Amino acid sequence: MRGNIIANADRNVFRVLIYQLIEEREKKQVFDEIITQNIVFLLLHLIARNIQQSITTFLKKQNPKSKIHEIMTYIQHHIYDKELIKIENLAACFNKSPDHLNRYFKNETGNTIKDYITRYKLNLIQTRLKFSDLTISEIAYEMNFTDESHLNKTFKSVFGQTAKQYKKNHMT
On whether residue 1 sits in a domain, the answer given is no
Which residues, 6+ apart, have CB-to-CB distance to 42 below 8 Å? 17
103 belongs to a structural domain = yes
User: Could you tell me which residues come within 8 angstroms of residue 127 by beta carbon, excluding any fewer than 6 positions away?
Assistant: none
Q: What pLDDT is stored for residue 55 in this prediction?
A: 64
Nearest-angstrom CA–CA distance, 57 and 75: 21
Do 95 and 171 belong to one domain?
A: yes
Tens place of pLDDT for every residue, the chain, 172 residues? 455 677 777 889 989 999 999 998 898 888 888 999 989 888 888 888 877 777 666 656 656 567 898 899 899 999 999 999 999 999 999 999 999 999 999 999 999 999 999 999 999 999 989 888 889 999 999 999 999 999 999 999 999 999 999 999 987 5
* CATH for 155: 1.10.10.60
**Is 166 within the bounds of a domain?**
yes
CB atoms within 10 A of CB 20: 15
CA 104/CA 113 separation, integer angstroms? 10
Q: Which domain holds residue 54?
A: 8-62
**Alpha-carbon 79 to chain mean position:** 12
Q: For residue 3, is it within any domain?
A: no
- The pLDDT value recorded for residue 1 is 42
Domain assignment present for 2: no
Please tell me whether the overall predicted TM-score, pTM, comes out greater than 0.85 for this model.
no
